[in-house]
C-alpha cells in the first residue's frame, strides 16, 4: 500500500488507517478487534488511531492486545485530553501517557495527540510536557485534534520560540460533506508542512452508499444507533448531495466509497484516511477504496458538487 509521511517527520504511514473508536464500544471483545487488526496489517495498513477516551481506555487495551508481537509493523496514534477540565495540563499529560502506554502494551507511542484544545491550560505548559515525553523516548511525534487554525498557529509559534517539539499533524473532521477546515486550517497546515488525518471520512457512514433516501436506516449502522451523529448528518442538504454524488459515481464507474476516499487522498495535505471497521471484510473494502486514484477532472467536479 502507498505510504505518506506524517508532516515533516520521518514517520511513514499507509494511506488508509484504522480508526479504533469501535473497539470496546461496538466491538465488545478482543477477538473481534484482533480480526480487524490482523487483516489490516496483512493488507499493508500500518496506522492505527485510538484515544484514551474511547471506551474509557478499552479501545487502547484491545488494540495493544491485538497488535501483540506485531508492534514493529505498525504506527500507533493515540490521543489524550477529552472530557477533563485540565486535559492538557502537565500533570494530566504525565499521568495519562503512562496509562496509555500500559494499555497499549508498548514503551513508546508513535503519535501522541491533544484530543481537544484545553482553555484552562496555556499551550506552553502542554508543549513543555509533550517535549519531555519526546526527549524521554516515550513519544516519537506529537499532533493536535480539533484545533482551530489560530490555535495551531499559536502552538507552532510557541514550539519554535521555545525550541520544543512541534505538532506534525492535525486530526480534524473532513469529508465530501464537511469541508469547514479548508478556509483557515488547511492554509496553516500547508504553510508549515503539517499533514491531515481526516476523521469521519464517510460522515458517519453516510457516504458509504448503504444509506438510501426514504428507506429504513441499515441495521447496526452508526447513524442508526447514534442519534447524536444522525442529527448532524441526516438532513435535506446531505440527502441532496448524496444523490448527486451517487449519480457521479455511477457515471464514472466508481462506488461511493471510492470517491469518498479518492477525493480525500487527492488532497496533498492528507496523510492517511482514518476509517473505522467492524469486520475484516470492511477492512478489505476500505483498503480497496484507498487504491482508487481519481483524475484531476473528477476531483474538480466533486469539488464543485460539494463546495
Burial class (CB in 10 A: 0-12, 13-18, 19+), 134: middle
Q: In a 3-state reduction of DSSP, which class is residue 48? A: strand
| pLDDT for res 209 | 78
Q: Are the C-beta atoms of 183 and 211 separated by less than 8 Å?
A: no
Average pLDDT over residues 207-214: 78
pLDDT digits (tens, 9 = 90+) for 130-152: 999 999 999 999 999 999 999 99
* All domains of the chain in start order, with CATH: 3-208+256-296 (3.20.20.100)
pLDDT number for residue 305:
96
This prediction has a pTM of: 0.94
Q: Sorting pLDDT into bands at 50, 70 and 90, what band is 213?
A: confident
Mean pLDDT of 195-216: 86
For residues 20 and 54, give the distance between their C-alpha atoms in angstroms, rounded to a whole number.
Answer: 8
| CB atoms closer than 10 angstroms to residue 307 | 7
At residue 225 the predicted structure's pLDDT band, cuts being 50, 70 and 90, is very low
Extended beta strands in 41-178, E state: 47-49, 75-80, 109-114, 139-145, 167-171
Confidence at 124, pLDDT banded by 50, 70, 90: very high
**Which residues are bridge partners to 112 per DSSP?**
78, 142
pLDDT in tens, 237-253: 989 999 999 999 999 99
pLDDT at site 224? 44
Percent of the chain with pLDDT over 70: 94
pLDDT at 220: 62
Average pLDDT, the chain: 94
pLDDT digits (tens, 9 = 90+) for 173-182: 999 999 999 9
C-alpha dihedral sign at 124, 129, 135, 137 = negative
Question: Catalytic site residues?
Answer: 54
Instruction: Please give the C-alpha separations between residue 295 and each of 69, 167, 257, in angstroms, as whole numbers.
Output: 40, 31, 16
Inter-residue contact 138 to 129 (CB < 8 Å): no
Please check the confidence at residue 62 and state whether its pLDDT lies above 90: yes
The confidence score (pLDDT) of residue 208 equals: 85
pLDDT digits (tens, 9 = 90+) for 79-114: 999 987 789 999 999 999 999 999 999 999 999 999
| Per-residue confidence (pLDDT) for residue 254, from 0 to 100 | 95
Burial (CB < 10 A; 0-12, 13-18, 19+), residue 221, is middle
DSSP state of 218: P
What is the predicted pLDDT for the residue at 229? 57
The yes-or-no verdict on residue 222 having pLDDT over 60 is no
Q: Which residue has the higher pLDDT, 235 or 39?
A: 39
Q: Give the phi and the psi of residue 294 in degrees, each rounded to 5.
A: -85, 150
Amino acid at each position: 500500500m502507498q505510504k505518506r509521511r506524517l508532516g515533516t517527520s520521518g514517520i511513514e504511514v499507509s494511506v488508509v488507517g484504522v480508526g479504533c473508536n469501535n473497539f470496546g464500544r461496538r466491538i465488545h471483545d478482543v477477538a473481534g478487534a484482533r480480526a480487524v487488526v490482523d487483516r489490516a496489517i496483512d493488507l499493508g495498513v500500518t496506522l492505527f488511531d485510538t484515544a484514551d477516551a474511547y471506551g474509557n481506555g478499552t479501545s487502547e487495551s484491545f488494540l495493544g492486545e491485538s497488535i501483540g508481537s506485531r508492534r514493529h509493523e505498525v504506527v500507533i496514534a493515540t490521543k489524550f485530553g477529552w472530557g477533563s477540565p485540565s486535559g492538557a495540563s502537565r500533570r494530566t499529560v504525565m499521568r495519562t501517557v503512562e496509562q496509555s502506554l500500559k494499555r497499549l502494551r508498548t514503551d513508546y507511542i508513535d503519535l501522541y495527540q491533544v484530543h481537544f484544545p484545553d482553555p484552562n491550560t496555556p499551550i506552553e505548559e502542554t508543549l513543555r510536557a509533550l517535549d519531555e515525553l519526546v526527549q524521554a523516548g516515550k513519544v516519537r511525534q506529537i499532533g493536535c485534534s480539533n484545533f482551530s487554525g489560530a490555535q495551531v498557529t499559536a502552538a507552532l509559534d510557541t514550539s519554535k520560540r521555545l525550541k520544543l517539539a512541534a505538532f506534525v499533524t492535525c486530526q480534524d473532521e473532513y469529508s465530501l460533506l464537511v469541508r469547514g477546515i479548508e478556509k483557515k486550517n488547511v492554509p496553516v497546515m500547508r504553510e508549515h508542512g503539517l499533514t491531515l488525518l481526516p476523521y469521519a471520512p464517510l460522515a458517519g457512514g453516510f457516504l458509504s452508499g448503504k444509506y438510501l433516501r426514504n428507506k429504513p436506516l441499515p441495521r447496526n449502522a452508526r447513524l442508526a444507533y447514534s442519534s447524536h451523529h444522525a442529527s448532524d448528518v441526516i438532513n435535506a442538504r446531505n440527502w441532496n448531495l448524496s444523490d448527486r454524488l451517487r449519480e457521479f459515481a455511477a457515471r464514472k464507474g466508481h462506488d461511493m466509497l471510492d470517491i469518498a476516499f479518492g477525493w480525500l487522498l487527492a488532497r496533498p495535505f492528507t496523510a492517511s484516511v482514518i476509517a473505522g471497521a467492524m469486520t475484516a471484510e470492511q477492512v478489505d473494502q476500505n483498503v480497496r477504496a484507498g487504491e482508487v486514484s481519481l483524475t484531476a477532472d473528477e476531483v474538480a467536479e466533486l469539488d464543485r458538487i460539494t463546495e
